[in-house]
Amino acid sequence: MDPAVVKSMMNSSAGKGVLQLKPMMGTYVWLQNERFLLPTEGHVMISFEARGTNDLHISFNDNCSQIEGREGLRDRSPYYEVVLGGWMNSKTVIRKRGIQQVAIRKEDNPNAVITCKTHFARYWVFFDVDALQIIVGKGAPGTNEIIRWKDMKELDEETPKLRYFGFSSWNQPIQYRSIILTEGHTALSSLLNLSSLPAPTVFFTQFFNDETLSDVTFVVDGERFFGHRFLFHCRARELYEFLLKDTPEGENEVKIDLVDEDFHARNFKKLLQFLYCGSLPPQTKRELKSLHKLAVVARFIRLETYCATLLETIKVPLPVPARPTASSSASTSSKKSTTDLNWAEFGDFSSFLGAEAFSDVTFVFPDETSKKGPDKKIKRIPAHRAILAVASEVFYAMLARDNFAESHATEITLHDVPYQSFFKLLQCIYSRTPPTFTDICAEVLPLLMVADRFALDNFLIEGKPLHEHCADYIRCNLSVKTCCPTLEVADALNLIELRQTCMNFIEAYFEQVALSKSFLRLEACVVLEIVLKDTLVVPREEVVYEAIQRWGAYSPEARTEPLKQLLSFVRFPLMGKRLQFLFYCI
């Protein structure tokens, strides 16, 4: 790809340009802009977002020549290379000159493969230039480590100066965006031990300082920053009261003019970044101390604790600054460990579920069975666009993009979505906790259908997609009455593992399942698949014959031809003489 094209993409405003790579088969695109050059010493952190199905390639090299990242191709391969989700999305590896040095599979770390194939996911690569060490992770920089490796070769004069890094793909297109390179200082080395720093599982990165769906604008040193009130209220109540408590109702612009050397626009932007993203790029000692003082003044306890922990890691003493009317609990926060705070609450919005506070859209559910007119029963659920938009692309498109009518509507009517199922879906989105069920057909299956409609297949709760939590409950509670309806939903949603669970249950308990009403509603092709199985457990062949006859009698006019086909697969030689006679009459 032309370097000028790459440079133009990387220089796009706010880092929102997308580097779109066709299937490159390992041929690299190098970022030759000066701000992307690797340092000759120290550390460097590279963070980026990527979307694809497999093989995210990132490499470090001493030149920008025609390089191909391929297994065993020593002469033309980059010096160091990371392949995320390689080998048909089965593992992540680090290679040196085309030779694999270390690998980790999905069984060892779920993040070793690409789990969100239709959404952009956030990754980071830490490179220690002096120690020749590489650490790779997913999410906020320094969290969710996937793999690490240290080159045991000592740094000497023969070691090439690795000044360039680049991206590639394999047999599928990949999109890269939000590429940020941060050179390391002393504080950056603490990232090697950040496993003790928990981070929220819900990121609002896409809304960080973005006007989309924002309802408040802060003006600091003449610069404008966009925000969302509900996020301040939920994630940093003391900060919300400090910034917004005295703001008149309906006032969307807040001018912050505090006489404090640490309360400037650059620091305020970092404060917002931590609020929205849950972490910060590496900072120098001076920057961390300045940000820590700002967090104390603004009463942002989590940011204060985060900075204090990093400073303690690199053994920087902290003074005890005076707090303007700070609470007693906040005054000791700098002494706490990050694990003392309830970081789970950082991503928990359950207090806003169904609440009018800060809501900007209402979903309406008319009761189609009730009588028309003013007495018609209507249920409403207030909601928050930004919370839903980060959960799925469908919600984002529907609620945040101007080309959809719903993005401007204060009320959205959902005629064909069950109220209870949608409310349970919102419970999962707002609380980020697995759903609880009491009934498969009444609760689990409708939730699966609604989740599929709004494309929550990649929405993760405690590291697993929502449909896997539903499947876990089904596996433990599957019964004769529920196996066939579940099979139909699994077929419709292409849930292969859940479908196989249902088929295994039907094979083991066919005699009882065949007597249920739900079996009679199965499609002919599904019944045929069941009948053809050699592993079908039945006491005698007559059970299969009678089940097919009942299935055909359920809708005789529509099933005449399928019935004949199904009966032709009955093993009549295994039946009694009377039923064998029927075979010759068909």
Query: How do residues 395-435 score in pLDDT, each as one tens digit?
Result: 988 898 887 888 889 999 998 899 999 999 999 999 888 99
pLDDT at residue 406, as a whole number: 87
Q: Which residues pair with 124 in a beta bridge?
A: 47, 137
Listed in sequence order, the residues at least 6 apart from 370 whose beta carbon sits closer than 8 Å to its beta carbon are 376, 377
Tokens 């000592």: give the residue: 154
pLDDT exceeds cutoff 60 at 98: yes
Backbone angles phi, psi at 86, to 5 degrees: -85, 175
Name which of 22-31, 45-54, 68-77, 229-238 the model is least confident about: 68-77
Average pLDDT of the chain to the nearest whole number: 81
Between CA 292 and CA 263 the distance in angstroms is 11
Looking at this protein, which amino acid is placed at residue 271? Answer: L
Local structure of residue 38 (DSSP, 8 states): P
Q: Boundaries of CATH 3.30.710.10 in the chain?
A: 205-347, 355-467
548/306: higher pLDDT: 548
Q: Which residues pair with 365 in a beta bridge?
A: 379
Q: Boundaries of CATH 1.25.40.420 in the chain?
A: 478-586
pLDDT exceeds cutoff 90 at 377: no
Write down the architecture of domain 3-184 according to CATH.
Sandwich (2.60)
Question: Within 10 Å of residue 248's Cβ, how many Cβ atoms?
Answer: 6
Buried/exposed 153-179: b ≥16 CB within 10 Å, e otherwise: eeeeeeeeebbbbbbbbbeeebebbbb
Angle at 478 (CA atoms; ends 475, 479), nearest 5 degrees: 160
257-314 confidence digits (pLDDT tens): 765 677 888 899 999 988 887 777 767 788 888 999 999 888 888 888 888 887 876 6
Reported confidence tier of residue 390, pLDDT bands at 50, 70, 90: confident
Between CA 79 and CA 87 the distance in angstroms is 20
> Which phi-psi region, left, alpha or beta, contains residue 516 (left: φ > 0; alpha: ψ -120 to 50)?
beta
Reported confidence tier of residue 74, pLDDT bands at 50, 70, 90: low
State the average pLDDT over residues 369-384: 73
Nearest Cα neighbor of 58 from 123, 132, 140, 143 is 123
pLDDT at residue 139, as a whole number: 81
pLDDT at residue 286, as a whole number: 85
For the domain covering 478-586, report its CATH number: 1.25.40.420
Name which of 63-72, 161-170, 223-232, 275-284 the model is least confident about: 63-72
550-568 confidence digits (pLDDT tens): 999 999 888 989 898 898 8
Nearest Cα neighbor of 254 from 221, 223, 214, 216 is 216
Nearest Cα neighbor of 507 from 523, 483, 490 is 483
pLDDT exceeds cutoff 80 at 142: no
pLDDT exceeds cutoff 90 at 221: no
Question: Within 10 Å of residue 317's Cβ, how many Cβ atoms?
Answer: 7
Reported confidence tier of residue 515, pLDDT bands at 50, 70, 90: very high
> Which phi-psi region, left, alpha or beta, contains residue 28 (left: φ > 0; alpha: ψ -120 to 50)?
beta
Write down the architecture of domain 205-347 according to CATH.
2-Layer Sandwich (3.30)
State the average pLDDT over residues 45-52: 90
402/122: higher pLDDT: 122
pLDDT at residue 190, as a whole number: 45
pLDDT at residue 335, as a whole number: 42
pLDDT exceeds cutoff 80 at 119: no
227/336: higher pLDDT: 227
Alpha helices per DSSP H over 332-373: none
pLDDT at residue 200, as a whole number: 44
The helix/strand/coil state of 49 is: strand
Between CA 287 and CA 186 the distance in angstroms is 11
Between CA 254 and CA 256 the distance in angstroms is 6
Token code pair at residue 32: 């030759």
State the average pLDDT over residues 173-197: 62
484/237: higher pLDDT: 484
Backbone angles phi, psi at 219, to 5 degrees: -115, 115
pLDDT exceeds cutoff 90 at 456: no
The helix/strand/coil state of 51 is: strand
pLDDT at residue 203, as a whole number: 63
pLDDT exceeds cutoff 90 at 225: yes
State the average pLDDT over residues 242-271: 81
Question: Within 10 Å of residue 429's Cβ, how many Cβ atoms?
Answer: 26
Q: Which residues pair with 18 in a beta bridge?
A: 177
pLDDT at residue 86, as a whole number: 92
Question: Within 10 Å of residue 210's Cβ, how many Cβ atoms?
Answer: 18
What's the length of the chain?
586
pLDDT at residue 436, as a whole number: 92
Reported confidence tier of residue 199, pLDDT bands at 50, 70, 90: very low
pLDDT at residue 14, as a whole number: 35
315-356 confidence digits (pLDDT tens): 666 655 544 443 333 333 434 444 344 445 566 788 899 999
pLDDT at residue 13, as a whole number: 33
Q: CA 273 → CA 35, 226, 254, distances in Å?
A: 21, 11, 18
Listed in sequence order, the residues at least 6 apart from 328 whose beta carbon sits closer than 8 Å to its beta carbon are none
Class of CATH domain 355-467: alpha beta
State the average pLDDT over residues 117-130: 85
Between CA 226 and CA 217 the distance in angstroms is 5
Torsion sign (Cα): 413, 419, 425, 428: positive
Share of the chain above pLDDT 70, in %: 81
pLDDT at residue 574, as a whole number: 74
